[in-house]
């Protein structure tokens, strides 16, 4: 079966005032259809750069990225925009909803620039909102009238409305309390059970336990579980040695 994500030897180097900065160093990663993957790493580890490449918001300096078998690492900006619109759903920590627009309009937003008729846009938005468990009584509310957990469920519904191959979530529980975070994570589980591929970035080890698999990134490199445990043990040992 063709993986949804197939990253092969990807490097990303930025030019910072003539000084090269290696954000990713030879990352290789596969994610299968219907898998729920968590990417963990400290600030500056390269996890956001990797997420941007997976989401076709950036391209590798070298290496290959296949999305459902399509090599997207060599596409131009217009082609990448079409891929994002049709095959990728995004969920952000800050929700990124239009505050004065209704829930329905926010969810339909990705469909406004397509040839999908309005009746079909509304039907698909209702289906997406139903999938995340938001009661119909909220559909006509403005997004700024909702709680944080409700706003995040609207954001997840918006990510689902195009029936994407891949859903990317960047710290989706970062602004939520623990009870609301659990509701949101159960929503991601339902997406995975429905066959969606979910990749989530977090620094929260408790959130990571919801995923099928967790990978760690440090200094632009993906680590094995054994390497990550060794680094954590070394850090703990240094901490005990301080006086």
**Tens-digit pLDDT profile for residues 68-92:** 999 998 888 999 988 988 899 999 8
The per-residue pLDDT of the chain, averaged, comes to 89
CATH label of the domain that carries residue 213: 3.40.50.300
Quick one: which of 80, 74, 91 has its CA closest to 171? 91
Flag whether 180 is in a domain: yes
Angle, in degrees to the nearest 10, between helices 178-193 and 148-160:
20
Flag whether 9 is in a domain: no
Flag whether 69 is in a domain: no
Ranges of the chain with pLDDT below 50: 243
pLDDT score recorded for residue 104: 96
Q: How far apart are CA 222 and CA 217, in angstroms?
A: 4
Domain assignment of residue 192, given as a range: 33-48+87-241
Q: How far apart are CA 63 and CA 23, in angstroms?
A: 13
Name the domain count of the chain: 1
Flag whether 53 is in a domain: no
CB-based contact 158:145 (threshold 8 Å) = no
The pTM (predicted TM-score) of the whole model is: 0.86
Strands of 80-224 (E only): list them. 88-92, 166-170, 197-202, 213-218, 221-223
Flag whether 80 is in a domain: no
CB-based contact 114:86 (threshold 8 Å) = no
Main-chain phi, psi angles of 116, to 5 degrees: -70, 125
pLDDT score recorded for residue 226: 63
CB-based contact 201:169 (threshold 8 Å) = yes
What does DSSP assign to residue 7?
E
Flag whether 8 is in a domain: no
pLDDT score recorded for residue 141: 96
Flag whether 147 is in a domain: yes
Distances, alpha carbon 119 to alpha carbons 22, 107, 115, in Å = 47, 14, 12
The 10s digit of each residue's pLDDT in 10-35 is 999 998 788 899 999 999 999 999 99
CB-based contact 231:69 (threshold 8 Å) = no
pLDDT score recorded for residue 50: 95
């Amino acid at each position: 079966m063709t993986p949804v994500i197939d990253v092969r030897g990807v490097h990303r180097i930025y030019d910072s005032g003539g000084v090269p900065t290696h954000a990713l160093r030879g990352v290789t990663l596969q994610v299968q259809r219907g898998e729920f993957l968590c990417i963990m790493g400290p600030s500056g580890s390269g996890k956001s750069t990797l997420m941007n490449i997976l989401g076709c918001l950036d391209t590798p300096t070298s290496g290959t990225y296949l999305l459902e078998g399509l090599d997207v690492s060599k596409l131009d900006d217009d082609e990448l925009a079409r891929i994002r619109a049709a095959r990728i759903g995004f969920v952000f920590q800050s929700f990124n909803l239009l505050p004065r627009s209704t829930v329905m309009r926010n969810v339909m937003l990705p469909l406004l620039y397509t040839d999908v008729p309005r009746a079909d846009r509304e039907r698909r938005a209702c289906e997406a909102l139903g999938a995340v468990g938001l009661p119909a009584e909220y559909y006509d509310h403005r997004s700024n009238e909702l709680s944080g957990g409700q706003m995040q469920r609207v954001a997840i519904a918006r990510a689902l409305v195009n029936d994407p191959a891949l859903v990317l979530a960047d710290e989706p529980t970062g602004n939520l309390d623990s009870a609301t975070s659990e509701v949101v994570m159960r929503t991601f589980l339902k997406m995975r059970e429905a066959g969606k591929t979910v990749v989530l970035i977090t620094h929260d080890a408790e959130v990571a336990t919801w995923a099928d698999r967790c990978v760690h990134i440090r200094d632009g490199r993906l680590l094995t579980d054994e390497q990550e445990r060794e680094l954590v043990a070394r850090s703990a040992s240094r901490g005990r040695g301080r006086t």
